[in-house]
């Protein structure tokens, strides 16, 4: 069993902020920062991290860090390791394929149906998030990319009026978080995926169901391709 990552150079988490302020906000703020570190690949799949070690980097006590890690464990992002800390869960290629398949079964028909039912004003309200995704891809800001991408997709699905469906997709997206996006951003491959969000909005506003299906199918396949590339 791997030892907790606390002191080696590879274990450093340079982008995690030092947290201050009211203790009541620590748990959520620490959880958000940990999610960001997972997305950026600063906390490595398969590695074990102790709450005290991470707390030292945050400048807070171990308690809010431990509580935040327990929240992430409920989301399937980490697993508790008795007397050691928390191991970042690894996602296999088979799991990624399964997540993509389930998302396709849910999202493609749901979004295609929105071409007939969605209010154009509500669709246009998603355009700022779609533009933020492109801006983040150009800037190489992976955290902003994932945050805007999540807002866009969940906001779009919410227009179908099924809150349970939105939560299911939210969980799938969390479990299939993206690894190694830095190289993808540097190569420019992330931008093509980002621009598909604007293309999708235009197809929806045109009430073009065929185009919506085409873009959604390509986009989910594109996302799966990004995951595969990130592992190379």
- Mean pLDDT over residues 203-208, rounded? 98
Does position 14 have pLDDT exceeding 50, yes or no? no
Q: Is the pLDDT of residue 144 over 90?
A: no
Checking if the pLDDT of 188 tops 80, the result is no
What backbone phi and psi angles, to 5 degrees, belong to 6?
Answer: -125, -35
**pLDDT tier, 220 (very low <50, low <70, confident <90, very high otherwise):** confident
Residue-wise pLDDT tens digits, 50-67? 999 988 877 878 888 999
The pLDDT of 82-104, averaged and rounded, is 87
Q: What is the mean pLDDT of the chain?
A: 81
Q: Give φ, ψ of 92 to 5 degrees.
A: -80, 165
User: What domains appear along the chain, each with residue ranges and CATH number?
Assistant: 9-88 (1.10.10.10), 93-230 (1.20.120.530)
**Considering the entire predicted model, what is its pTM?**
0.75
* Nearest alpha carbon to residue 38 among 27, 49, 51: 49
């Amino acid at each position: 069993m791997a030892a907790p990552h606390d002191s080696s150079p590879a274990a450093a988490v340079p982008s995690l902020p030092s947290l201050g302020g009211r203790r009541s906000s620590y748990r959520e703020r620490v959880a958000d920062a940990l999610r960001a570190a997972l997305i950026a690949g600063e906390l490595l799949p398969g590695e074990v991290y102790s709450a005290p070690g991470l707390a030292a980097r945050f400048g807070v006590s171990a308690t809010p860090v431990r509580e935040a890690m327990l929240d992430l464990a409920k989301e399937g992002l980490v697993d508790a390791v008795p007397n050691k800390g928390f191991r970042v869960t690894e996602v296999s290629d088979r799991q990624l394929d399964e997540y993509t398949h389930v998302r396709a079964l849910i999202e493609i028909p749901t979004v295609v149906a929105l071409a007939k039912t969605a209010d154009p004003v509500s669709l246009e309200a998603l355009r700022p998030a779609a533009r933020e995704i492109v801006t983040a891809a150009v800037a190489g800001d992976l955290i902003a990319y994932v945050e805007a991408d999540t807002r866009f997709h969940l906001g779009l699905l919410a227009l179908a009026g099924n809150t349970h469906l939105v939560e299911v997709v939210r969980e799938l997206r969390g479990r299939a978080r993206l690894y190694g996006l830095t190289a993808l951003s540097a190569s420019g491959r992330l931008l093509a995926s980002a621009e598909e969000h604007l293309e999708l909005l235009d197809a929806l506003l045109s009430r073009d169901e065929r185009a919506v299906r085409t873009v959604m199918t390509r986009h989910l396949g594109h996302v799966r391709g990004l995951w595969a590339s990130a592992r190379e």
